[in-house]
Structure 1
Amino acid sequence: MNPKLQYGIMALCAILVIAFVVIGIQQKNHSESLERKIANNSKPTKATKDVSVTSEDVKTYKSIVESSIDEFLNGEYTDDDIFEDGTAGNVFYSLFT
C-alpha cells in the first residue's frame, strides 16, 4: 500500500476521532445544563381550597346543573360549544350520546 495513502487514512481517522470527542463533550455539557435547569425548577405545590360548600350553595348548583341538563336534552343548550373538549356542553354530549 502506498505510504501517502496510509498517512492520509491515518490523518482522516485522527480528525474523525477528534471530531467525535468534541461532539461528545458538547453533548455532555448540554446534558448537564439541562439537568441543572430541571433541578432548579421549582415544583408547583398543590393548591387547597379553604372554603367549604354550604347546603345553600349545593341547592343553587344543583338547580343550575339540572336546568343545563334539561336545556341540553331539549336541544336548547347554548352556554358553550358541545363539540369543544373541556366544556360542560361536551360533557353532556359525551354523557348522553
Structure 2
Amino acid sequence: MSWFSKSFLPTVIGGVGGFLMGGYAGAAVGAGLGAYSGYQTDKTEREQKKAAKKMEEEMAKNEVKPTIVDDSRQQEERRKRNQLKQGSASTVLAGDYRQSAAKRLLGE
C-alpha cells in the first residue's frame, strides 16, 4: 500500500492532469513529474528516519546515569578521624616549632 500511495498515485494524477492540459505529451510530462515527486517524497522520508535514528543513538549515548553514593556512617567516621589527624599534626608541628624557638633563645 505504501508504494501505491507514494509512487504510483502521484504518477497517475500527474499523467491525468497532464493529459487534460496538453494531450499525450502533457500526459507523459505530468506522469514523469508525478513519479519524480513520489521519489522525492520517499527520499525525504528515508532521510528523516535516518536522522531520527541518529538522534536517538546520540540521546542514548549522552544519557545521564545516576550515581549511587554510599555515604555511610563508617565513611563519616573516617572523615572525622582524618580531620582530627590533620588538626593534631598541625598542632604537633606548631608545638615543635615553639620548642625549637625556645631552645634557640636559650642557646641549647
Q: Place the TM-score, normalised by the shorter chain, in its bin.
A: 0.3 to 0.5
Q: Give the number of the structure whose residues are more often helix, by fraction.
A: 2
Q: Between Structure 1 and Structure 2, whose CA radius of gyration is higher?
A: 2
